[in-house]
Amino acid sequence: MNGKAHEVITGVSIRKNKKQISFSEHAIVYFKELSDAEIRHYVDNFSPLDKAGAYNIQEYIGVDKLEGEFQNVMGLPIQRVLKEIKGWK
């Protein structure tokens, strides 16, 4: 993904009593071009290999920009979840 972009899509389904909502949220993460030494430093110091995509958006130095919700890339689009729940009647 070095120097490229990738799409993060998170599917959410919430059920309460007999009401259920399901949706997906998407974001695009754009990465800087990093040297091999910078990548090696990140891998050696931040343990990314147990993360989806092998990076942690909260601490990854290689993110150039993000289109979409930050929390979606972390794992759950909180803003969208709150919006959907507030709309329940």
- Could you report the per-residue pLDDT of 30-46, keeping only the tens digit for each? 999 999 999 999 889 88
Beta bridge partners, 21, equal 14
Domain boundaries, given as residue ranges, for the chain: 5-86
Q: Is the pTM of this model over 0.75?
A: yes
What mean pLDDT comes out for the span 1-22? 92
Three-class DSSP category at 87 = coil
Task: Judge: domain 5-86, CATH 3.90.950.10.
Answer: yes
Q: What is the dihedral of CA 80, 83, 84, 86, to 10 degrees?
A: 160
**Residues paired with 12 in a beta bridge:** 23
What is the pLDDT at residue 11? 96
